A and B are shown apart, each in its own frame.
Chain A
Amino acid sequence: MPKTLTVNRGASDAVRALLRSLIEGGKVEGVFTLARVNNKGVGYALIRDPEKIEQAEPFYPWMPSSGGKQLSRLVSLSRRPRPLAVVLRPCELRAFVELVKLEQCRRDKLVLISSTCGGVYPVETLSDGNPDDRVPRYWNGLKAGEGQPDARDSCRACKHFIPYNADLTVALVGCGDLDEKCTFFVNSEAGQACLEGQGGVWGQSAVETEATEKLAAARDAERERQREELHLGSLGIEGLVGIFGKCVGCRSCREVCPICYCTLCDFDSAKYENEPAWFARELNSRKGVRVPPATLLFQMGRMVHMSVSCVGCGMCSDVCPVNIPVATLFSSVGEANQKLFDYVPGKDESQKPPFVKAELNELENLTV
């Protein structure tokens, strides 16, 4: 069981105070966290000025972009001399670790802080009235260990809401007193070093509680429901055209996906500039062609390329302008693929991603 430090401050305040002290004590070069941009929303920011920490909203219940993806772009493969402190949600942290494993960025010199997660609201709700009106309801839900009925589909179905690989985990789910108290779970030496000199009461306990188990069960049921609603197993070509028929081809789902890191996506390459001869062939064979073409090729192509690493964050669904349940589809396909390799993306840093290696004696039933 991990060591814990409980401080007499609400969770967000406690994290702000910790971040501030890390900067002021010179332990980190800066902090990476969600911060208030104006009174209408939040964005990720890298902050050095201790005064600006007041603007940090580490647990504001929206995800304007995958923090894991954004962080990976800051901490590319070259070494950083001094550490950064980082606050991410569990799925963002998994995405980050997955990107480390895919050799897109480095894990060292980072203090990773995460929390048990109640989910986020869809990004579009940031401009639906005053977002702050939703916040008290969100925190009340957290205290009771419940998710929000209008949270992202992916969050309502998320089973990995207890972070892996965090140096410090802040307990939120089911913590009735989170307005007055905050408990940090220490998962590593780096986490321990951060808390040195902080006041509070030390103890020891497990981050999993009855409340987290209850939430996990509710989410398992919701995940099943979402999949049944889509009639996944009987989609076929007709069903897929039914779902993706309205795709406008904006590629937003790919742009925001933390796992889609390619600088030039195959689907943007010159081979998709269709020549007249190509159209002629399609007209001959299928007597017609959708324009722009290759919607299903893009969707299924992305599935075969990256779904083994899909962390189910829901960014893709969140940004889809025509409300295609992209994340439900990708995470369902992803989970089946992950099962094939006994793999959970972003969980075990030492386990190589499925496309990075292969074994002599495995998957023998795939060949005939």
Chain B
Amino acid sequence: MDAAFEPKLVGFLCRWCTYQAADLAGVGRSRYPANLVPIRVMCSGRVDPLFLVRAFLKGADGVFVGGCHPGDCHYIEGNLRARRRFGVVQTVFSVLGLEPKRLRLAWISASEGPKFTAQMKDFDAAVKKLGKNTAAAEVFL
């Protein structure tokens, strides 16, 4: 493992929960890895599975989806649908010998600032272990 390797992480964060948790973490001065590019979505259910594939092929070393806890989605079952789609993307990755651990789904409510920080640190460390995403430098994708 390259000690200097800083993974590029992309996060699709629901604006009602995980995105606010990220804000809260910031307000509470709880440091999470600065290499996360947060993308605010109206609901985790807005995340087309293609977004994950696209971010990965563009070279993201890790792709994160954060939504409201089951039962708490503002659109009732957006997060449950997100979970099914996420499962499909991860399965595609597994079958094709890509690394499913580069994809992560977590439920983090608006009040869980510390959980957000912990999750990000943990994800960052897990992706560091996997090393660089080889898609990043591949021209003939």
Contact = CB atoms under 8 A, between A and B. Distances in A.
A129 to B, nearest CB: 37
Given A287-B139, A341-B84, A368-B119, A336 B50 contact: no
Contacts of A337: 87-88, 91-92
Contact of A368 (B91, B104, B137): B104
A289 interface: yes
A285 B141 contact: no
> Which residue, of B52, B54, B95, B104, has the highest number of chain A Cβ atoms within 10 A?
B95
A250 to B, nearest CB: 17
B96 A290 contact: no
A26 interface: no
B91 A367 contact: no
> Which residue, of A308, A332, A366, has the highest number of chain B Cβ atoms within 10 A?
A366
A134 interface: no
24 contacts: A235-B97, A236-B97, A236-B134, A237-B134, A237-B138, A241-B141, A245-B140, A285-B58, A288-B139, A290-B141, A297-B54, A297-B141, A304-B85, A305-B50, A332-B95, A333-B91, A336-B94, A340-B88, A341-B84, A358-B77, A358-B81, A360-B80, A363-B87, A367-B107
Interface string B99-141: 0000011110000000000010010000000000011111111
A294 B106 CA distance: 29
A334 B70 CA distance: 26
Contact of A241 (B87, B107, B140): B140
* Residues of B in contact with A, size category: 35 or more
B26 interface: no
Closest 4 CB pairs of A and B: A358-B80, A288-B139, A304-B49, A235-B97
Interface of A: 231-241, 245, 266, 285-290, 293-297, 300-301, 303-305, 307-308, 329, 332-333, 336-337, 340-341, 354-355, 358-363, 366-368
User: What is the predominant secondary structure among interface residues of chain A facing chain B?
Assistant: helix
B71 interface: yes
B12 interface: no
Contact of B92 (A231, A288, A333): A333
B89 interface: yes
Contacts of B139: 286-290
Contacts of A359: 80
A238 B71 CA distance: 40
Contacts of B87: 337, 340, 363, 366
A308 B83 contact: no
B59 interface: yes
